[in-house]
Amino acid sequence: MKSVTFRNGALEMAAHLHLPAGFDESKTYPAIVVTHPAGGVKEQTAGIYAGKLAAEGFVAIAFDASCQGESTGEPRQLENPHARVEDISAAVDYLTTLPYVDRGRIGAMGICAGGAYTVTAAMSDRRIKAVGAVSATNYGAILRNGWEGRDDLTGAFAMLENAANARTAEANGAETGYYPIVPQKPEDAPNADLAEAVEYYRTPRAQCASSPSIAPVRSLAQLATFDAFHLVDLFLTQPIQIVAGEDAGTRWISEDLFRRAASKDKHLHIVPGASHLGLYDKPDPGGRGDGEARPLLQGQALKHRRRPGIMPGRPFHAGPKAPEPAAEAARPDRHRRLVPNRLACAAPPEWFDQASAAGREHMRATAEPGRSRGAADPADPADPADPADPADPARKVAASGPRHKSSHRRRAWSPAAAAPCGMPAGRTRQFGPAEAAVGKMSIGFAPPQS
C-alpha cells in the first residue's frame, strides 16, 4: 500500500493505493474505487476492503472525500453529496492514468453512504463497469424518512431551516457550525446501529484523528434534498452486488435498491445476524462463530473468473433470500428497533455545541504548522509492489494544476500513523467482512492471468 494524491478540479485528493501481491507493472489489472462512509476516512473500513480486494488481484484505491481526512477543501468535513459523487469520478480519472490499470475493467464499491454515492456515480460515469454496495445508506432518504424509513418529512423541513440559518450566520462572520454524524456517547444513540457507530468511530476499534464524524450544519440542505437512487430504474444498468446485514436498520435501503435497479445482473446478499456496522470490520459479523466470510470466498465468485473482460456476476445464495416487499411489510418484527433518530434535527442543542467544539478542535489540530503536504512515503519492505523509484506512475498526481489554498495540511503516511486509527502500529488486521464482500460482491471482473 502506498499513499498517493490526485487532482479533483482545484482540490488535491489524498488516497491509499493497494496493489496486488506479486505486482508486475508490465501487466494490466482490473481496478476498483472504494468509497468510505459519511464521517469516515480511507484508513478505516474503506482501506480494509481495498486491501482485501488487492489480495484478490485487483488494484484498489481508497481515498478521503473532498474537504475530509487528508484531502483539501473548505469548509472542513463538508458532506456535500454532489461533491462526493464527483470524487468517485475523479478517482476513476486517476486510475486511467496508471499504465498497469485496464481502463475497460474499472469498477467501484462503497460502504454505507459511500455505497449510495457509488450508485449515483455509476449512473453517469460509464467508465464504471460494475458496482458493489455494502450496508448501502441513501443519506438523503435517511434524513427524510428516518433510519428505518418510517418517519415523515417534518424533520427534513427543520433541517433545511437549520442549514439556511447556519449559512446566514457564517456569511456574517460566525464560525462554522457542526452537527454530529455519530453521537458523542453511546447513551445518546437512539438505536442499536448508532450505538455501534459510537463504538466504531469513537473508541480504539476504528477511531482516527482525521475522522471526527461531524459535518457542517449547512450540509443538511444538500443532503436532505438528495436522492442517491434517483433514476436507478433507468440508468443503473451495470452488474451490481449489494451486501446488507440481516439485523441492520438500513436493510430496507439495500432492498429498495435491489428492487429498483435497472441492471439485469443484480444480486442482494443478506448476511445472517449482521448489523449495519458489523460489515465494516468484524471477522464474524453475524456472531454465529462460523466466520461468514469464508463460505463466501469458497463460492469463488471472483476466483473462477478467468476469462478476460467484463463478465456478468454469478448468482450466489449463501444467505436467506430477500423477502418480497409484501412479505417484508408483514413481518411483525420489521421495525422492532424503530426509534426516531434524526440526529440532525431532533438532537438537543448541546449536541450541536459539542459537535461544533469538536470541529473547531479538529481544525486547529489539522492546521498545525510544520506539517507538509504530499510528502513521499517511506518504502515499505513488506510490500513488493512499493518501489522506491519516485518515477513510479502510482506516485504521480493525475493532472497538474494549481494547489488549492487551504489551511488544512496533510501528513505523510507512516506505519506509526495507523495507531491513532484504531490499529496497532506495524500490524495489519485480517477482517472477515471484507472477504465477504470480495467473495460475494461479484464485482464483474476476472482477476489477471498469472
Range in 62-76, 281-295, 359-373, 391-405 with the lowest mean pLDDT: 391-405
- For residue 384, is the peptide bond before it cis, meaning its omega torsion is within 30 degrees of 0? no
Residue 147 confidence (pLDDT): 85
Give the cell for residue 321. Answer: 433470500
pLDDT at 422: 52
The pLDDT score that the predictor gives to residue 101 is: 98
DSSP, residue by residue, 57-102: T-EEEEEPPTTSTTS--SSTT---HHHHHHHHHHHHHHHHT-TTEE
How do residues 20-59 score in pLDDT, each as one tens digit? 999 999 999 999 999 999 999 999 999 999 999 999 999 9
Per-residue pLDDT tens over the stretch 120-178: 999 999 999 999 999 999 999 999 988 877 777 888 899 999 999 999 999 999 999 99
Q: Is 50 exceeded by the pLDDT of residue 188?
A: yes
End-to-end, the C-alpha distance of the chain in Å comes to 21
Which residue, 135, 101, 140, is CA-closest to 120? Answer: 140
Residues 448, 28 contacting (CB under 8 angstroms): yes
Are 214 and 202 in contact by the 8 Å Cβ rule? The answer is no
Residue 84: pLDDT band by 50, 70, 90 thresholds? very high
Express each pLDDT in 269-288 by its tens digit. 999 999 999 999 998 787 65
Decide if pLDDT at 298 tops 60.
no
Residue 219 pLDDT > 80: yes
C-alpha–C-alpha distance, residues 114 and 138, integer Å: 9
| pLDDT for position 362 | 67
* Cα distance between residue 362 and residue 352, in whole Å: 15
pLDDT at 40: 97
Taken in order of first residue, the domains within the chain and their CATH numbers are 2-144+222-334+369-440 (3.40.50.1820)
Q: How far apart are CA 424 and CA 307, in angstroms?
A: 39
Task: State the Rg of the chain over Cα.
Answer: 21
Write down the pTM of the prediction. Answer: 0.73
Res 61: pLDDT:
98
